[in-house]
C-alpha cells in the first residue's frame, strides 16, 4: 500500500490503563498522524499501525493484556504481519518472552528476555536509569538514522530487553553497561526510551514509524 497515494495509515494507541497514553497520542498528532485510542480489542479492526505503551511492573502489564482480552487479537494481527506495532518502554518489554521482574510470560513476539540493569560496584550511577541518554545505532533501520548524528532520548527504567539474536537489535545505550535501546523483528518495533518525552528526536522517530510503508 502506498500511504501517500491511497490514504493516511490508521494508527491506534492501546489504552491498557498503564499510564502515558495521552502523551503518546499527543506526540503522534504533532507528527500529523490520524490517531484513535483503542479501549477494547474489537477496536483493533482496520488498524495499520498499533502503539503499545505503558509504565510500571511487567506482571501488571501482562495482566492488563490478559484480563481485557487483548492477547489473542494482538498476536493474531502480528503473526499475520498485517499490522506494524511500536512498543514503548513497558510496551517493548511486554513483547518479550519473560522478565526477571515478574513471573508471568510475556507476549513472546520476539526471542528476548527482560533483565534488571546491572551497575559496576564502583559506579556512582543509580537504578532506575532516569533522564536523557544518547543511543548508538547498531544497524541501518527505518526509525533511527545514523546520518543524523547524535540522538538523545529520555529513559525511565530499571529493566531492559536482552535479545536472543543480535540482528534484532537496532540501537543500544549505556548506563553502567550497554543495553538494547531499540529492537525490531518482522513488523514489530520496540524502544526502551520514551519518544513521546524526547522532543525533536522522539517526534522524528514516531513520524518515521507512522510513515513506514504498510
**45-74 residue pLDDT tens:** 989 999 999 999 999 999 999 999 999 999
Count CB neighbours of 200 within 10 A. 9
210, 33 in Cβ contact below 8 A? yes
Q: What is the mean pLDDT of the chain?
A: 93
The per-residue pLDDT for 3 is: 45
Say what angle helices 71-80 and 58-67 make with each other, to 10 degrees.
Answer: 90
d(CA 165, CA 110): 9
Using CB atoms within 10 A of its CB, is residue 165 exposed (0-12), middle (13-18) or buried (19+)?
A: exposed
**174 pLDDT above the threshold of 60:** yes
Indicate the DSSP class of residue 100: T
Q: Which three cell numbers stand for residue 170?
A: 537496532
Q: Which three cell numbers stand for residue 24?
A: 503518546
Percent of the chain whose pLDDT exceeds 90: 86
The per-residue pLDDT for 5 is: 45
Q: Which three cell numbers stand for residue 53?
A: 505503551
Q: Which residues on adjacent β-strands are paired with residue 136?
A: 172
**Cis preceding-peptide flag for 80 (omega within 30 of 0):** no
**Cis preceding-peptide flag for 128 (omega within 30 of 0):** yes
Q: Could you tell me the pLDDT band of residue 32, with boundaries at 50, 70 and 90?
A: confident
Supply the residues annotated as catalytic.
Answer: 89, 194, 196
Class of domain 7-211: alpha beta
Look at the chain and count its residues: 214
Indicate the DSSP class of residue 121: T
- Three-class secondary structure of residue 80 per DSSP: helix
Q: Average pLDDT, stretch 104-124?
A: 95
- The phi, psi pair for 146, rounded to 5°, reads -60, -30
**211 pLDDT above the threshold of 80:** yes
d(CA 43, CA 41): 5
* Domain limits, the chain: 7-211
- Sign, Cα dihedral of 193, 212, 8, 4: positive
Helix (H) or strand (E) holding 11: strand 11-14
The per-residue pLDDT for 81 is: 84
Tens of pLDDT, residues 182-205: 999 999 999 999 999 999 999 999
pTM: 0.94
Task: Determine the Cα angle at 131 with ends 159 and 29, to 5°.
Answer: 95
Amino acid at each position: 500500500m502506498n500511504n501517500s497515494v491511497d490514504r493516511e495509515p490508521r494508527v491506534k494507541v492501546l489504552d491498557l490503563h498503564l499510564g502515558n497514553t495521552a502523551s503518546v497520542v499527543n506526540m503522534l498528532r504533532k507528527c500529523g498522524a490520524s490517531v484513535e485510542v483503542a479501549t477494547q480489542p474489537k477496536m483493533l479492526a482496520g488498524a495499520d499501525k498499533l502503539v503499545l505503551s505503558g509504565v510500571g511492573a511487567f506482571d501488571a502489564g501482562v495482566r492488563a493484556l490478559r484480563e481485557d482480552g487483548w492477547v489473542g487479537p494482538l498476536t493474531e494481527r502480528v503473526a499475520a504481519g498485517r499490522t506494524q506495532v511500536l512498543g514503548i518502554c513497558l510496551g517493548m518489554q511486554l513483547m518479550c518472552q519473560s522478565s526477571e521482574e515478574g513471573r508471568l510470560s510475556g507476549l513472546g513476539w520476539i526471542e528476548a528476555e527482560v533483565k534488571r540493569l546491572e551497575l559496576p560496584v564502583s559506579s556512582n550511577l543509580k537504578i532506575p536509569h532516569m533522564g536523557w541518554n544518547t543511543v548508538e545505532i547498531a544497524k541501518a533501520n527505518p526509525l533511527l538514522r545514523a546520518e543524523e548524528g547524535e540522538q538523545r532520548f529520555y529513559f525511565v527504567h530499571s529493566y531492559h530487553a536482552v535479545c536472543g539474536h543480535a540482528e534484532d537489535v537496532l540501537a543500544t545505550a549505556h548506563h553502567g553497561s550497554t543495553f538494547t535501546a531499540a529492537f525490531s523483528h518482522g513488523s514489530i518495533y520496540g524502544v526502551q526510551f520514551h519518544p513521546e518525552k524526547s522532543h525533536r528526536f522522539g517526534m522524528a522517530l514516531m513520524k518515521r514509524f507512522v510513515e513506514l510503508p504498510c
